[in-house]
Chains A and B, each alone.
Chain A
Amino acid sequence: QQQVKQSPQSLIVQKGGISIINCAYENTAFDYFPWYQQFPGKGPALLIAIRPDVSEKKEGRFTISFNKSAKQFSLHIMDSQPGDSATYFCAASWDGTASKLTFGTGTRLQVTL
């Protein structure tokens, strides 16, 4: 049972454009929604995260938009750069000392010149 659905599977964006990746979740108990960035051959690294008490969180060029009623959240990368080319994973978990993350299947982003 896939509890976090991510789309698109791959994305090509021109330099300077906006990259948008979407995720939908099923478990209403989830209350922590991070995005991870992974470069080839490396482990994922936390990019930005949000809790459902806010509808948007921005850190630099990266923004998470959250829609609790629709059970959806998305990552927006403004002014996309070639260095942003990576695989992005959304995830979700519920609060706890050792909460487990449920990951989406990933989006491979390529930013072209």
Chain B
Amino acid sequence: DGGITQSPKYLFRKEGQNVTLSCEQNLNHDAMYWYRQDPGQGLRLIYYSQIVNDFQKGDIAEGYSVSREKKESFPLTVTSAQKNPTAFYLCASQGLSSGNTIYFGEGSWLTVV
């Protein structure tokens, strides 16, 4: 089935540790995105990538890093520099075939303990 796969679904991190969230898509989409969602708030853009080996900061990039070595993969690293990392993280993708439609993965819950 075509879609976006995020893993893990749930992740616990100790303070001071870096963690990496995986995002893989088999939709052949060029653009990929990472959003953060906090309770009662909308989705805020962390990073996005339009093509392989290129990415741009979104509205809340501080404390996060990404890479785009392959078209289908866009992992997000939450570093220890991120002050409030506990949140629901959503990966999304968009392609020429989908027009403006952005498709989301199932999300990953990150909790700092």
Contacts and interface: CB of A to CB of B under 8 A. Distances in A.
Say which size band chain A's interface belongs to.
20 to 34
Nearest to A98: B31
Most chain B CB atoms below 10 A, which of A41, A43, A103: A43
Contacts of A58: none
B51 to A, nearest CB: 8
A50 B9 CA distance: 32
Contacts of A49: 100-101
Interface residues of B, number: 25
B50 interface: yes
B53 interface: no
B37 to A, nearest CB: 9
Contacts of A100: 33, 45, 48, 58
Interface of B: 4, 30-31, 33, 40-45, 48, 50, 58, 90, 92, 94, 96, 100-107
5 contacts: A43-B90, A43-B105, A49-B101, A95-B100, A106-B41
